[in-house]
Structure 1
Amino acid sequence: MLGKARWDLANEILAPDIVMHHPSSPQPVAGVKNVVGFLGAFREGFPDMNMKVEFTFGEGEMVAVRWQMSGTHTAVLFGIPPSGKSVSVAGISLLRFSDGKVVEDWVSEDSLGLMQQIGVIPTTG
């Protein structure tokens, strides 16, 4: 959905009361509209975004997804002016399903690496 900006699929994939826990948000993001808005802000910052799923596995109601995001920072990202720099960021999403829809999503990603790649935080070494 995020990689191809298929927001029309949100109601098919996400439960109406979905809760997303993301390192870029101090509070959980709740509800389809808010989750789509939050993810849309990432997509806007990287219009050429590509999402690659590296592997998935699951047990019961839980599914883990290891992914790699790449793109070029050519638009404002959460108030950060475009840098024009290409990025590659790895992450893991832990998804909890109920009745065939995602009801909760815990995201862990290399936020520090992303900020270093777009030049907001200096690299070390």
Structure 2
Amino acid sequence: MTFVQVIDCKTSRIDELNRLMDSWVEATQGKRTATHSIVGRDRTDATHVVEIVEFPSYDEAMENSRLPETGRIFQELVAACDQEPTFTDLDVLRDEQLNKIVVRNFFEEVANKRNFDAQDTLCTPDYQEHDPILPTGVIGLEESKAGNRQLHAALGPVVTIESLIAEGDQVSARFSFKGRHTGEFLGIDATGREFSATGQATFRCEGGRIAESWWNTDDLGLLRQLGVIKT
């Protein structure tokens, strides 16, 4: 179970606090078990600082606390605070990356369920899609919906999400897909051949919707499997 530790302190020496954090990150390289750290300052009290540190589990957090580098930096941290910091230990009950949910829904609804009109709710009205295979390089929402209809009519792909990684307003997806070439695709008449390929896409989200996407798929490998390109 993921474990989170919240460190709450009062300090007027923010620069010193940042220096200590940088020193700890450098000193524990290759040793620390912490996976994510966020430091925030209270907008109503500039001396009130909260750090949230994430660990894969409580046991790994304890392993991290036993590092001599952690102990040394902690003593310096206490000295930099106006009063003794407080600690809150939390077992994470739920952890939702909301932007990952909308991207996952995009693949499930649009790619696998063929519900192309779902893009109207999953994407912003000014959605832009970038793909090097496109003649113009970039298209809008209606063009994307039409393109998806044509693509699925020709290839009938079934998509499997291999991994999703979220950072800030962006989500990176690694996926695989397979299908059969039963209709015209890129001017190529149906071959009836089965295929499987991989791809990667990055999505930028705004207000719970997808505002922009960048796609890269193994088009060369796909064309080889369709017999268009000989190896």
Q: SS of the counterpart of 1:93?
A: strand
User: Counterpart of 2:162?
Assistant: 54
User: Counterpart of 1:86?
Assistant: 194
Structure with bigger strand share is 1
Aligned equivalents of 2:113, 2:132: Cα separation in 1: 22
TM-score normalised according to structure 1 size: 0.91
- Partner amino acid, structure 2, of 1:18: Y
Aligned equivalents of 1:15, 1:28: Cα separation in 2: 19
Percent of residue pairs identical: 29
- Give, in angstroms, the shift of residue 98 of structure 1: 0.6
Aligned equivalents of 1:92, 1:23: Cα separation in 2: 13
Contact 1:17/1:30 (<8 A) preserved: no
Larger Rg: 2
Structure with bigger helix share is 2
TM-score normalised according to structure 2 size: 0.51
- Partner amino acid, structure 2, of 1:71: G
RMSD: 1.2
Residues 1:103 and 1:97: Cα distance change in structure 2 (over 3 Å): same
Give the unaligned 5+ runs of structure 2: 1-109
Give 4+ residue runs of structure 1 displaced > 2 Å after superposition: 28-31
Give the unaligned 5+ runs of structure 1: none
More contact order relative to length (CA 8 Å, sep ≥ 6):
1
User: Counterpart of 1:33?
Assistant: 142
The within-5 A match list for 1:1-125 is: 1-47=110-156, 49-123=157-231
